[in-house]
Structure 1
Amino acid sequence: MKSNLQPKKRFLVVAFSCTILLVSLTPVVAKPTLGSLPSDDYGGLRLRADVKTNLAQATAFNEPTIPSGPAPAGRVRGGAKRGPTCPGTVTKPDLTALVPFSEEPNSVTNVWGQTTVEHPSWFFYVPYTKDLPYEVEFVLQDQDSNDIYQKAIALPDKAGVIRVSLPTNAPALALNKQYRWFLTVNCDQQENSSLIFVGGVIQRIELKPAALKELQTTEPLKRYAIYAQNGIWYEALTTLAQLRDQNPKDAALQAEWENLLSSIHLNDIAAEPIISEKP
């Protein structure tokens, strides 16, 4: 699908529209104690009863410092009070990117997170369903605003959280470079003003050797804690989503998911279902 929004225009939309999101955010900094997490064999994907009681308090996301240089301005909500909103979302949260965000004194909203993998995944809350005639597209750009990946996104059967993954045949993210991403929704193909979007910046980094070694020898729940402790948002979220997909009735994992999203002030999305954990 060819987007109506050209690469340079996408960048300008983000720069000018990010001022409409007025959210006050205090970064949540916590240091989880990895030793307190369950040591059971997570191959069976079961948690002990005592672990379930304390799991939601065991881990919180340790938000890293915004990198120096141009602000990673973006937009975490697709429909703001003074911006366009697609029909069909009157009683639902707006289109939302599941990613940390913070507002600067000059009203610029930073939407930024770190990954350690070449082909990461993004998660979005989408309030629109497949019965609506909307065009949805995910776009990834390099530091020069060149599109390096585009994908038409099929709307789900019901409102909820979807996953968009960068496929292995797409260009890999280079270390220490920033990339800009967008998810756009075109409510009316005849009117560009009906296009709403979320967008932000992702940067691939390397973990410290000690954390990397621990990741290679531990079970998924502890891997999630290591990622969260080291401020690696994308792998923390993806790991926890995969655990929930394999354990859909596990109340402890649901509580941990809600705790993670609430820690970045996305409380209204925390209880929304994950529609499909498949890439």
Structure 2
Amino acid sequence: MKLSITAAERRSFVSLAIAISLGLSLSILFSWQANAETVVRFQPPEGNAPGGTRGGASRGDTVCIQNSSEQNQLLRALIPPGSNYGLTLAERPEVFAYIPTTTARQAWFVLKDDRGNTLHQHIIPIAGHGRVIPINITEHLPALEVGKTYEWGIALLCAGRLQIDSPFTSAWVQRIAPSTEVLPYMNQPPSLQKVAALGAQGIWYDMLSTLTQLQLSRQDPANVSTWSQLLRSVGLGDVSTVPIERTYK
């Protein structure tokens, strides 16, 4: 059976197709404009750092580190210089470290409470070339408590085991309750608007985690640019262009 389409119906179909196409184009345009207008800044939280936090001492800095002439050759926690602690809303947040070019192929991760009691430790495989790595706090642990501060650290296992001169760094994480400003974003998918809201409230770890998700899930130059600009703005410019590698647990 052959269907016939009148001229009026054909014009109607064409108009509908144009409307749909225009709607999609406008949606993409508005989304691009929203991202382009979003400025991400990190506002350090008010008040002093939680009691007991201190700089993450690194022992044996250059043991098994290659390319020692590079400015960013040392193992470090990715945290604004001079603060050494960051906030999170998450029960089990991601923390971030810069792993330099090294002959080590494993790193040791540890999480402690504010009294120095070890809550968790595990071995992380590393590739040996300079990377920023997100590290998940294991789901096997109880959730971090609101208002409590925890210390995390990472060491390079230069000889395949932890030694007194193993390169080591540490930082602190404090879990807080969400403010009214970030509460609307809690269950929202990653976006630059969410990153900006977290940064404005000084929630360092979640801001980095959300921006990392955006970078790795969407190949958008704006996300890469935002990451680099953000790190430079807080004094981490020497690692602002280092690749992120999410292969560690």
What range is the shorter-chain TM-score in? 0.7 to 0.9
Which structure 1 residue ranges, 5 or more long, are not aligned? 1-39, 103-109
CA RMSD of aligned residues (A): 2.9
State the partner residue of 2:42: 61
How far the C-alpha of 1:74 sits from its partner, in A, is: 2.2
Q: CA deviation at 1:262?
A: 1.1
Partner of 1:245: 216
Task: Assess if the C-alpha contact under 8 Å between 1:161 and 1:272 holds in 2.
Answer: yes
Change (3 A) 1:245 1:278: farther
SS in 2 for 1:137: strand
Pick from 119, 125, 130: which aligns with 1:159?
Answer: 130
Q: Residues 106-151 of structure 1: CA distance to partner in whole angstroms, max 9, x if unpaired? A: xxxx40100001100011111135xx34541110001221110111
Q: Counterparts in 2 of 1:70-219, with a 5 A limit?
A: 70-75=51-56, 78=58, 84-87=61-64, 88-92=66-70, 93=72, 94-102=74-82, 110-128=83-101, 132-133=103-104, 135-156=106-127, 158-188=129-159, 192-216=163-187
Distance in 1 between residues matched to 2:147 and 2:159, nearest whole Å: 38
Counterparts of 1:277 and 1:54 in 2: how far apart (Å)?
A: 32
TM-score using structure 1 length:
0.69
Q: Secondary structure at the match of 1:244?
A: helix
How many residues align? The count is: 220
Distance 2:128 2:155 in 1: 18
Give 1 or 2 for the bigger CA radius of gyration. 2
SS of equivalent residue, structure 2 residue 144? coil
How much identity, in percent, do the aligned residues show?
27
Amino acid at match of 1:61: F
Q: Is contact 1:121-1:165 (8 Å) kept?
A: yes
Structure 1 counterpart of 2:21: none
Is contact 1:221-1:240 (8 Å) kept? yes
TM-superposed CA distance for 1:97, in Å, is 1.4
Q: How does 1:1-20 map to 2 (within 5 A)?
A: none
Question: Does the 8 Å CA contact 1:97/1:125 hold for their aligned counterparts?
Answer: yes
Structure 2 unaligned segments of length 5 or more: list them: 1-25
Once the two structures are TM-superposed, the CA of residue 178 in structure 1 deviates from its matched residue by 0.7
CA distance in 2, matches of 1:206, 1:112: 16
Q: Shift of residue 192 of structure 1? A: 3.5
Deviation of the 1:168 alpha carbon? 1.6
Q: Does the Cα contact within 8 Å between 1:100 and 1:264 map onto a contact in 2? A: yes
| Mapped contact 2:50–2:149 kept (Cα < 8 A) | no
How much does 1:223 deviate? 1.1
TM-score normalised to structure 2 length: 0.77
In the alignment, what sits opposite 2:202? 231
Quick one: structure 1 residues 95 and 69, their matched pair in 2 at CA, closer, same or farther if it must change by over 3 Å?
Answer: closer
Please give the secondary structure, in 2, of the residue aligned with 1:161: strand
- In structure 1, distance between residues paired with 2:161 and 2:245: 30
Whether the 8 Å CA contact 2:111–2:119 is kept in 1: the answer is yes
- Residue 52 of structure 2 contacts residue 114 of structure 2 at CA under 8 Å; is this kept in 1? no
Kept after mapping to 2: 8 A contact 1:245/1:277: no
Q: CA separation of 1:143/1:157 partners in 2, compared to 1, >3 Å: closer, same or farther?
A: closer
What amino acid maps onto 1:96 in structure 2? R
Q: Any idea what SS the aligned residue of 2:208 has?
A: helix
Whole-Å separation in 2 of the counterparts to 1:191 and 1:141: 17
Query: Cα–Cα, structure 1 residues 220 and 189, in superposed 2: closer, same or farther, change >3 Å?
Result: closer
Contact 2:108 2:162 in 1 (8 A): no
**Residues 96 and 134 in structure 2, CA contact (< 8 A), matched pair in contact too:** yes
